[in-house]
Amino acid sequence: MTDTAATVIMLGDVVGPPGLRAVFAHLPSFIKKTNADLVVANGENAQKGFGIGGEELRALLGSGVNVVTSGNHVWERKEAAELLAAEPYLLRPANYPPGLPGRGICHIVGRKYEWVVISLQGREELYPIDCPFRTADELVAKARKEHPDAFILIDFHAELVEEKEALAWHLDGKVSVAAGTHTHVQTADERILPKGTGYLTDLGMSGPLDSIIGVKKEICIQRSLSQMPIKMETAEGAASVQGAIFSIDPVTKACQAIERFELK
């Protein structure tokens, strides 16, 4: 990372109390080490593995996270509607139908630079919500008009690699970063697209190490063996924080470098 670059840390899905503890333990010192201007974390699994509540949101913000994005699980807690309506830096995917509480985009000033963060959700093998591509086009155009000096970041919470890659290529040169979440498995395909958009298919998971995507191993194994919808429970024990830090040229707004990390 260059000294003059604008840097943003993006964290993979924070899963349950182990993930929150790991973020609290590792993130503040990592922010100082990297001199990051902004921190974005996906928090849709922060409350016992499914959803997010006020306590979890405060824990993330208190650990140095500036904006919390989410996805399909954000609606699973009864307090979600009120929380989404009240908290400007807790985002739900912007491409849910009109009339739902909350917002999918925010403008925020970091330590030095302006940022616009957009939360989107994929449709392939998820819910048939509004088109993330058209929603992205509308919100990016709006952000560029209202906040011309801001760097634009996308958290695309989606299942399929194809859909994630397609959105990144569609937005190449229009946003500084298009990073994926949802699978809880960090991918090793970070790259800068020809017009300057930094891309990573999945940021990974901030959660328990001795687990299957953050869930107790025995439960996942039994679900596979029995094909029964056994209730998932967050695993316990040691956890790590996964994500990536993106370095962006302050003038061109093009991504200059991407570094994946795991803190444990």
**pLDDT value at residue 208:** 96
Contacts 24+ apart (CB under 8 A), 257-261: 257/1, 257/2, 257/5, 257/192, 258/190, 258/191, 258/192, 258/198, 258/200, 259/1, 259/190, 260/186, 260/188, 260/190, 260/200, 260/204, 261/30
Q: Taking all residues of the chain, what is their mean pLDDT, rounded to a whole number?
A: 95
**What does the pLDDT look like over 145-201, one tens digit per residue?**
999 999 999 999 999 999 999 999 999 999 999 999 999 999 999 999 999 999 999
Which domains can be identified in the chain, with CATH numbers? 6-208+241-263 (3.60.21.10)
Q: Looking at residues 94-107, what average pLDDT do you find?
A: 96
**pLDDT value at residue 3:** 59
**pLDDT value at residue 87:** 95
Q: Is 73 a catalytic residue?
A: yes
Which residue type is seen at 80?
Answer: A
**pLDDT value at residue 187:** 98
**pLDDT value at residue 76:** 85
Q: Which of 26, 73, 157, 184 is catalytic?
A: 73
pTM of the model: 0.94
**What does the pLDDT look like over 19-52, one tens digit per residue?**
999 999 999 999 999 999 999 999 999 998 888 9
